Chain A
């Protein structure tokens, strides 16, 4: 029997190719739910603000955030999330092509919970996602997500 984790991940990424790659990698890691995908920081913020007190729309257990997006960039999104009393408890991991020391420092100052440079090939990408999901959804406790809460099949497969 295949066991899937019921974690909810939000993906804030404007590049559709990278979105697809991340989704595929997450599915490989047996994350049951299709990620909440936003192609801009504005779209992501609007979703989170609209639904933070909703009982029916899923809120993410983790946000994967690109830095370089048109309009509101990743750092401004991070600043807003981390200053909102209802949203600041959601861990945000940066997933970006930038390896600039300045970006790394600023992201951690804004309370990113990890900074990952996007690998260039699929194999490395999958390995990164394996380690990331292992850390966040096997060994870390969360407010709403419990590692022991699993399903026997992927509802979106």
Chain B
């Protein structure tokens, strides 16, 4: 799993390499110190999170999770339910970042305690701006738990 060695840890759960790159570039451009971890599946993300609870020195606990919904295997909604049912992990805010504009998906994600639901923009510049506003909220205004 990629590790940039900076301060606030964000876990991106996203299977599409193009979207991974887009989000990574946008987050790294924000000027705040983000240690970005990228998991290509819900399962890999869960594995990482479990390791971070057992060995916080080697595996930084994320302060925020950005979560795609449509992934093979464990989908985003199943991942969200699982993490929110875990006593150790439920305090990590999860923001859904997805192509889905389905009202059912929106409702289910908020019912599972998502801390935001963002539709991916097809336009990179627009998406970069969206991510800038997201990081401003989570890292300049809201307190987050640091691992």
Q: B-contacting residues of A (Cβ < 8 Å)? A: 82, 85, 88-91, 93, 99, 104-105, 108-109, 111, 113-117, 128, 131-132, 134-136, 138-143
Contacts and interface: CB of A to CB of B under 8 A. Distances in A.
A141 B101 contact: yes
A88 B113 CA distance: 7
Contact of B142 (A90, A115, A134): A115
Closest 7 CB pairs of A and B: A135-B137, A89-B110, A113-B115, A108-B91, A111-B113, A114-B142, A115-B143
Nearest to A88: B111
Contact of B141 (A88, A89, A111, A132): A132
Given A111-B90, A114-B137, A104 B143 contact: yes
**Chain A interface mostly helix, strand, loop or mixed?**
mixed
B130 A139 contact: yes
Interface of B: 84, 90-93, 101, 103, 106-107, 110-111, 113, 115-119, 130, 133-134, 136-138, 140-145
Contact of A143 (B103, B116, B134, B142): B103
Contact of B143 (A88, A99, A132, A141): A99
B110 A91 contact: yes
Contact of A116 (B84, B130, B142): B142
Contacts of A136: 116
B142 A141 contact: no
10 contacts: A88-B113, A99-B143, A114-B137, A116-B141, A131-B137, A132-B141, A134-B136, A141-B101, A141-B117, A142-B110
Contacts of A114: 93, 115, 137-138, 141-142
A113 B116 contact: yes
A77 B144 CA distance: 21
A44 to B, nearest CB: 19
B93 to A, nearest CB: 6
B106 A108 contact: no
B141 A128 contact: yes
B4 to A, nearest CB: 24
B22 to A, nearest CB: 15
